């Protein structure tokens, strides 16, 4: 049963929340843990997962195309809705991120639990194509015309993203067939083992239940779109691209997981509605324990 497989992942999130709220080990620990995971452990996980991935496999290429199509269709749908219901960028940016962004740590953890090493390879490919797309779409939604006047700044934010750099390095090694010589593979695998549990603890530490007191209607509506609408859209697009097995699972899982806590950081940096974004992250993460098993069961992937 899927619920029995993934509940330990949510237990880690809950533990992180409890530890952070009780001040253990120290309030300064969590920002530092997020940084070491973001810049070191997580890129190591991406490289070690991608280095042996069958990048040239047609099914892998179809997964990448289906993933980008799903994100762009969802973003276009949000843009059309905005034309009907005009919304300032400070609110539209969080709303769009609530639909198209994904909690990478939870997605990888669920995929690893359900599909093992094969699923991790496919998930790393998914991230390689989707992380740049999601970042570009999110930044444009939050800053609108400003970003178009400073394309260099947008390009720097993308190129210096550790996730993107890790994906590019891993894909390059896979395409060249170089592998990871001189024991570097073992070194990266050791680093990678700490990434997912630490990442899930940090997800819990970042939750802000107090943010749910405001905008409860829009927050719940956005959660329905993200946690139920997006996986259905992904399943239909995956079917159109002829995906099955691990590729179909990865596409649906990364569309069914809650939005990323990093969306809150980006929202604050670009002067968006941080409270609204925090509410979206918290509500979706809390609801996902129920919706992820439900979605996978209904779609026949559990």
Output the average pLDDT for the chain: 92
Kindly list the domain boundaries of the chain, sorted by start residue.
31-196+212-298
DSSP string, the chain: -HHHHHHHHHHHHHHHHHHHHTT-S-TTHHHHHHHHIIIIIHHHHHHHHHTT--TT-HHHHHHHHHHHHHHHHHHHHHHHHHHHS---HHHHHHHHHHHH---HHHHHHHHHHHHHHHHHHHHHHHHHHHHHHHHHHHHHHHHTHHHHH-HHHHHHHHHT-HHHHHHHHHHHHHHHT---TTTHHHHHHHHHHTHHHHHHHHHHHH--GGGGGS-HHHHHHHHHIIIIIHHHHHHHHHHHTT--HHHHHHHHHHHHSPPPTHHHHHHHHTT--HHHHHHHHHHHHHHHHHHHHHHHHHTT--
pTM, full prediction: 0.92
CATH architecture designation of domain 31-196+212-298? Up-down Bundle (1.20)
Low-confidence ranges of the chain (pLDDT < 70): 1, 145-149, 302
Give the pLDDT score at 193: 94
Q: What pLDDT was estimated at residue 258? A: 97
């Amino acid at each position: 049963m899927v619920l029995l497989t993934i509940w330990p992942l949510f237990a880690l999130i809950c533990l992180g929340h409890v530890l952070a709220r009780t001040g253990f080990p120290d309030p300064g620990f969590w920002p530092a843990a997020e940084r070491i995971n973001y810049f070191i452990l997580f890129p190591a996980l991406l490289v070690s997962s991608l280095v042996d991935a069958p990048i040239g496999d047609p099914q892998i290429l179809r997964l990448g195309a289906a993933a980008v199509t799903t994100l762009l269709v969802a973003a276009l749908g949000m843009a059309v809705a905005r034309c009907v219901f005009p919304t300032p960028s400070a609110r539209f940016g969080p709303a769009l991120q609530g639909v198209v962004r994904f909690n990478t740590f939870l997605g990888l953890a669920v995929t690893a639990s359900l599909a093992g090493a094969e699923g991790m390879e496919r998930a790393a490919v998914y991230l390689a194509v989707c992380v740049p797309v999601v970042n570009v779409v999110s930044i444009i939604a939050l800053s609108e015309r400003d970003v178009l006047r400073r394309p260099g700044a947008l390009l720097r934010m993308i190129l210096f993203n550790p996730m993107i750099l890790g994906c590019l390095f891993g894909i390059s090694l896979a395409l060249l067939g170089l592998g990871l010589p001189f024991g570097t593979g073992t070194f990266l695998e050791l680093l990678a083992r700490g990434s997912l549990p630490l990442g899930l603890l940090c997800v819990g530490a970042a939750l802000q239940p107090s943010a749910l007191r405001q905008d409860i209607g829009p927050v719940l509506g956005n959660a329905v779109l993200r946690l139920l609408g997006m996986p259905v859209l992904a399943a239909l697009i995956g079917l159109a691209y002829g995906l099955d097995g691990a590729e179909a699972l990865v596409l649906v899982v990364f569309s069914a997981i809650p939005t990323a806590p990093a969306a809150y950081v980006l929202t604050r940096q670009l002067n968006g509605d941080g409270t609204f974004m925090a509410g979206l992250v918290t509500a979706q993460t809390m609801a996902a324990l129920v919706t992820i098993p439900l979605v996978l069961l209904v779609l026949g992937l559990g």
